Amino acid sequence: MKIVVLDGYTENPGDLSWDRIAALGELTVYDRTPAARVVERIGDAEAVYTNKTPVTRETLERCPGLRFIGVLATGYNVVDCAAAQERGIVVTNIPSYGTQAVAQFAIALLLEICHHVGRHSDAVRQGRWSQCEDWCFWDYPLIELAGKTMGIVGLGRIGQATARMASALGMRVIAFDGKPCAAGKAVAEYVSLDTLFEEADVVALHCPLLTETKGLVCRETLAKMKDGVILINNSRGQLIVEADLAEALASGKVYAAGLDVAETEPIAPDSPLLQAENCIITPHISWAPKESRQRLMEIAADNLKQFLGGHPVNVVNA
């Protein structure tokens, strides 16, 4: 079996091994593939892996040998799944590989907002502490989280992991989810979305991007939140109307935002959030610790192995 990885660099910039996938066939790995070369590089391969390189209906029509598409991520909108299903091509994704990493990053964004550790370290290196007349100094208000309320929108695996971490910091945790479950009830108090917006000192988004959640955080919903609320989003950028958030940051309605995602990725150069005060933006890296990417690699290999054995798993277009 010929196997092609279209854009392997993000998943594996050189610190992991492709050996488990290579053991399943004749493997070719490309760091990146421009759209104009996707068909050429797939060629007569039967299996292809992609992270963010689109696999369109036209590509599938021009690559008749394809039997398997493995998405090297949880989200699979880069593949025309309907067209793949029509042609009998199995499409798989990688669920649950980064739960702890993504939850940890959400808390990291929050702690950076509360303490500005990086900026204060820079100030020390610039000599400002050495030159200070006082025993210590700080440039930003420092925030203690114990006793404050964390509101989590989306209480799936990642939301639950974030809830446990927030509880360990002494926070009260409330949550909204369309499908309450026993595991969620064990770590948070379910409330209505309006109640969450009204009571939360910190709002963390851990919900999927659906028709009903696109633009969830907008001028109308921001108005329902506490003055000085902190917003954390390392789920999907399109959950937020960026212009409305920038406006709320400028007015002080939102004290600060910690974002690992953007409406357009990479972020558009004219995004209003790039000029917003008290807005931390990181380049969609919550999922990227080596341990998390190793799990992703192992699941990706197992997806193909199970497919070849006649028992496909993690299929998203069945």
**Active site residues per annotation:** 236, 265, 284
Integer Cα distance of 292 and 271 in angstroms:
29
Integer Cα distance of 19 and 25 in angstroms:
10
Q: Which helix (H) or strand (E) holds 246?
A: helix 242-251
47 within 8 A of 18, measured Cβ to Cβ = no
Nearest to 98, CA basis, from 289, 314, 249, 305: 289
154 within 8 A of 206, measured Cβ to Cβ = yes
Q: Which helix (H) or strand (E) holds 69?
A: strand 68-71
Contacts 24+ apart (CB under 8 A), 251-255: 252/227, 252/228, 253/222, 253/223, 253/225, 253/227, 253/228, 253/229, 254/222, 254/225, 254/228, 254/229, 254/230, 254/278, 255/113, 255/228, 255/229, 255/230
Q: Which amino acid is at 114?
A: C
User: What residues pair up with 257 in beta bridges, in sequence order?
Assistant: 231, 279
Integer Cα distance of 305 and 165 in angstroms:
35
* CA 250 to mean position of chain CA atoms: 25
* DSSP letter assigned to residue 256: E
Tokens 């190793």 locate to 294
Tokens linked to 242? 């960026």
